[in-house]
Structure 1
Amino acid sequence: MDDIATPAQPYHAAHDREIESLADFDEVLAREGSLAHRRVQAVDLTARTEVLLGVDATGAVFLGCPMAEEAATAVRAAGALVFPPVPGLPFDPYRAAVYSPGELYASLAEGYEATPDALAYAWFQRTKADGDVFASMLRAVHDDSVSDATDELLAGARVVGVMGGHAMARGTEEYAGAARLGRELARAGFTVATGGGPGAMEAANLGAYAAPFGDAMLDEALLLLAKAPSFTPSVGAWAGAAFEVRERWPGGGSSVGIPTWFYGHEPPNAFASHIAKYFANATREDGLLARSGAGVVFLPGAAGTVQEIFDNATPNYYGSRGEPTPMVLVDEAHWTERLPAWPLLRALARGRSMEARITLVDRIDDAPAALKLIRG
C-alpha cells in the first residue's frame, strides 16, 4: 500500500509538461510525435537514440537524462537544453520522485556507512565545508526536485503532521502511544507526515504502516522493535529491526517522512513509505508544516519541537496560508510547566481566528478526537 490515498488529483499545467519515466516518454511520443517544450526529468534515454535523432525538441529541457552523445548533440541542435547527469554523486539532483526506505538503505547488509543515505550525508559534510558553489547548486537543485515530487505526491491529500523529538525510545509507553496515534490518524483517512527521523517521528510512521492490519500486529511489532531501542550505538541494528517488521508484515499503510541531511546523524526511519529528504533544513521544516493542512499534532519534545510550534503558529497568526491550521499540543504538564509553550501560544491566539483551532490535551490517545473537534 505505497500510494497516498487522495481525492482526484487536480490538473497542473506545469506538471503536465513533465516526463518522469520511460513509459511516459514513449506515451507522449506515440500520442504527439514531439517533445517540444517538455521537461524530461531523470529518464534513462540510452535506448532511445534513434528517436532522439529526429524528434522535435524545440524548447525542451533534459534534466539528468543519460543519453548517447550523438542524441544529446541532436536535441541541442533542435533547440533543447541538456543538463547531463553529474558523475560521482551519491544522489541524483534531478530525481523525479521522493525516496523509498529501500532506496536510502540499499546495501545496509554491508553496514550503514555503505548505504546511499550515509554516502549522501558524507558528501554533504565534505562539500558544505569547502564552500564549493557547484556543490551548493547541486544541493539546491536536488531539494527543489524533491519539493516538486512531494507536491505531486500529496496533491489533494489530507495531511496531518506529527511533530516530536528523536529521543523517544522504542519499548517505551510514549513510543507506543505515538504509534497508536499514527494508526488512528491513518485509519481516519489522513495522510501522516513526520520529520522522518527516529523517536516520535518513527512511531507515528509505524502506526500508519500498521493501520491496515489488526490491532495485534502493532503490539507484536513494538515488541520486535524494542530489541533495538535507539539508533545509537548501531544504526544498522536499529534499521534492521524495522526492515524485519516490514518483511514480516509486508504491504503496510502509506505515510510520509520529511527528514534532512542537515541532521544526518539522525537516520531516516524505514516506516515512512515516501521519504522526501532534503539538504536544507529550513526548506524541509517549512515544507513539512506548510503541507500539513489538515492539522499538526505536537508531541512532547525539546528545542526543535518548540521551534515547530511557533513556525506553524506564525502563518496562522497572520493568516498567510488562509484558514488556520489546527494545532494539538499533547501532554499538559510538558507544555505548561517543563517547556511552557502553551501559555504563549494561547496568548498569541487570543481574539484571532486561530484561537478556535488550538487545543491542549493531556493524553496522546485523545489527540485524534481533539483534531476532529477543532477542525469542526
Structure 2
Amino acid sequence: MHPIPAQPPRPAHDHEIESLAEFDEVVAEHGTLAGFRVQAVDLTGRTDALLRLDSTGAVFLGCPMDPEAAARIRSAGALVFPPVPGLPFDPYRGFVYTPDELFDALAQGYEATPDARAYAWFQRTKADGDIFSSMLRAIHDDAVSDALDELLVGARVVGVMGGHAMARGTTAYAGAARLGRALTRAGYTVATGGGPGAMEAANLGAYAAPFGDDMLEDALRLLAKAPSFRPSVTDWARAAFEVRERWPGGGTSVGIPTWFYGHEPPNAFAAHLAKYFANATREDGLLARSTAGVVFLPGAAGTVQEIFDNATPNYYGSRGEPTPMVLVDSAHWTRDLPAWPLLQSLARGRAMESRIALVDRIEQAPDAIKRLGG
C-alpha cells in the first residue's frame, strides 16, 4: 500500500531536470537545454551534449561537469552554480531524503552519518553570522520544499502531531502506531515531524500497513529493546533498521524533521524525509501540507503551539477551506493542558467550528478525520 509514489509524475510544463534519466529524456525529446533548470545532476558523463546543445537561459544548480563544458554553456548564456565542496549535504538537491541516505555509515556509529555531520556543520556555522553559510541553508531548505511539493502532488495528507518523549514499549506508542496504520490503510498519506516518539510511532504504523496485524505487534516488541534515542542514537536507530530488514517493503509516509532540534534524530520508518535547517519553515510547511487534516496526540508545549499554528489559518481562512483538527485524549486537552476549550471558543460561529473534534481514544481519530471531511 503506497499512497505516494517514489518519484511522482511531473506536470507537462515542468522545466526542472533532477536526474540523469530526465536529462537524457529531455535531450532525446527536445534536442535543447534552453530554459531548463538542471538541479544536482552529475553531468561529467554528458560533456558531448553540453558542448552541442543550445543552453540559452538554462540554469545549472550544483551539477558536476567538465570544465570545458561549463565554460561553453556559460558563454552561451547559461547560469552555472557549481557544487560547493566540503559540505555534508547538497544545498541544490532535487529530492527529499531517505532514511538510508541520512543514516548512511550507521555501522560506524551515529556520529559518522550524514545526518549527524550536517547537524555538526549547522552548529559550527549558525552563530558566526556568515552570510555564505546562511545562504546555503536557505537554498537547501527551499530545494527541500520544492521536492516535497512535487512528492505530495495529489496526496491526501493527514498530519500526526505528538511529542518526542513518547517511549517505545509504552501503550501510548503502540496506539500512535496503530493510528498511523489505520490512516494509511484508509488511503491517507501520514505526515509527521519525522523525529522520535509519537512521530516515529505514526510513521512505523504507516510502514506496517501492507502487512498482517501481527507484524506491528512483533515490531513493537523488537523496538522496545531500545526505548529511547537517549542515551544512544546508534542503538535506537539500529533497532529500527532491524525491523525494516526483517519486513522490507513497508508502506510509505512522510517525515518533516529539522536540524534545529539536532538532538532529536530523524526516524527510519518515514520513507521520505524532508529535513530542514529552519524550524519555522519546517513547522509551518508540515501543517500547510496536511491538507486532509491533523491529529494532535497528547503532548506538551510544542504540540500546543502546533494546535494554534494550525488553528490560525483555519480561523482566518487564509489557506482556503478549514481542514479537520482532531485532538486525542479528553482529559489531557481539557484538564492537563486545556487547549480544547480555547479552540472551541475560537471556532465558535466560524467555518472551522464544524471541522474540530475531541475524542477520548486514539482509535476514534481516523473516523473523526473522515467525519470532518478529511
TM-score normalised by structure 2 residue count: 0.98
SS at match of 1:150: helix
2:192 corresponds to: 194
2:257 corresponds to: 259
Letter in 2 for 1:168: M
Contact 2:181 / 2:205 at 8 angstroms: preserved in 1?
yes
1:58 corresponds to: 56
Determine the C-alpha separation between the residues in 2 that align with 1:10 and 1:84. 25
Contact 1:5 / 1:157 at 8 angstroms: preserved in 2?
no
1:114 corresponds to: 112
SS at match of 1:208: helix
Letter in 1 for 2:137: R
Quick check: 1:331 aligned with 2:319? no
Determine the C-alpha separation between the residues in 2 that align with 1:303 and 1:70. 55
Q: 1:12 to 1:329 in 2, by over 3 A?
A: farther
Q: 1:5 to 1:373 in 2, by over 3 A?
A: farther
Candidates 206, 209, 224, aligned match of 1:208: 206
2:246 corresponds to: 248
1:168 corresponds to: 166
Give the Å deviation of 1:12: 6.5
SS at match of 1:261: coil
Provide the alpha-carbon RMSD of the alignment: 1.3
Runs of at least 4 residues off by over 4 Å: none
Give the Å deviation of 1:129: 1.4
1:123 corresponds to: 121
Candidates 281, 291, 294, aligned match of 1:293: 291
Contact 2:106 / 2:234 at 8 angstroms: preserved in 1?
yes
1:350 corresponds to: 348
1:279 corresponds to: 277
Give the Å deviation of 1:5: 5.4
Give the Å deviation of 1:3: 6.7
Q: 1:68 to 1:110 in 2, by over 3 A?
A: same
Give the Å deviation of 1:10: 7.7
**Residue-by-residue CA offset, 1:159-202 (whole Å, 9 max, x unaligned):** 00000000000000000000000000000000000000000000
Contact 1:161 / 1:295 at 8 angstroms: preserved in 2?
yes
Give the Å deviation of 1:115: 0.2
Gaps of 5+ in 1: none
1:321 corresponds to: 319
Letter in 2 for 1:281: N
Quick check: 1:229 aligned with 2:235? no
Determine the C-alpha separation between the residues in 1 that align with 2:12 and 2:339. 39
SS at match of 2:371: helix
SS at match of 1:180: helix
Give the Å deviation of 1:11: 3.1
Quick check: 1:151 aligned with 2:149? yes
Give the Å deviation of 1:158: 0.1
SS at match of 1:82: strand
2:216 corresponds to: 218
SS at match of 1:262: coil
Candidates 69, 72, 82, aligned match of 2:70: 72
Give the % identical residues.
Answer: 79
**Residue-by-residue CA offset, 1:108-128 (whole Å, 9 max, x unaligned):** 000100000000000000000
2:86 corresponds to: 88
Q: 1:3 to 1:373 in 2, by over 3 A?
A: closer
Contact 1:5 / 1:191 at 8 angstroms: preserved in 2?
no
Determine the C-alpha separation between the residues in 2 that align with 1:10 and 1:182. 28
Contact 1:162 / 1:298 at 8 angstroms: preserved in 2?
yes
Contact 1:39 / 1:62 at 8 angstroms: preserved in 2?
yes
1:364 corresponds to: 362
TM-score normalised by structure 1 residue count: 0.97
**Residue-by-residue CA offset, 1:301-347 (whole Å, 9 max, x unaligned):** 01110000000000000001111010000000100011100000000
Determine the C-alpha separation between the residues in 1 that align with 2:261 and 2:72. 43
Gaps of 5+ in 2: none
Letter in 1 for 2:61: L
Give the Å deviation of 1:9: 6.0
